[in-house]
Amino acid sequence: MNMMERLFTRMRTSGPLVLSLFLFFAAREVWNTRPQLMIIWLVGTVCWLVGEIYARWQHKRLDWPEWVLAFKRGYQGNTN
């Protein structure tokens, strides 16, 4: 695995969690005005974490979505 693949894999696995934590701390004021939005956000984050843990437990590598793989290959889409 070369350096770029390791970087993409690390971004895939830890990037969303770091972003999620950053957004949580940045949006603390939202809790005072619209707590239902924070509850929905927390449920989504927990579901994402459960999916990551389950995939690792099953020893399956979570791959990038197809549109990301196509972008990495330089595919620009059908122009017809």
Q: Could you tell me if residue 27 is inside a domain? A: no
pTM of the model: 0.43
In a domain, 13, yes or no: no
Residue 80 belongs to some domain of the structure: no
The radius of gyration of the chain's CA atoms, rounded to the nearest angstrom, is 17
- In-domain check, residue 56: yes
Residue 53 counted as domain residue: yes
User: What is the Cα 43 distance to its own chain's centre?
Assistant: 14
pLDDT in tens, 45-75: 888 888 777 777 776 666 666 777 777 777 6
Provide the domain limits for residue 58. 32-73
**pLDDT (tens digit per residue) in 13-38:** 666 777 777 777 777 767 777 778 77
User: Structural domain tally of the chain?
Assistant: 1
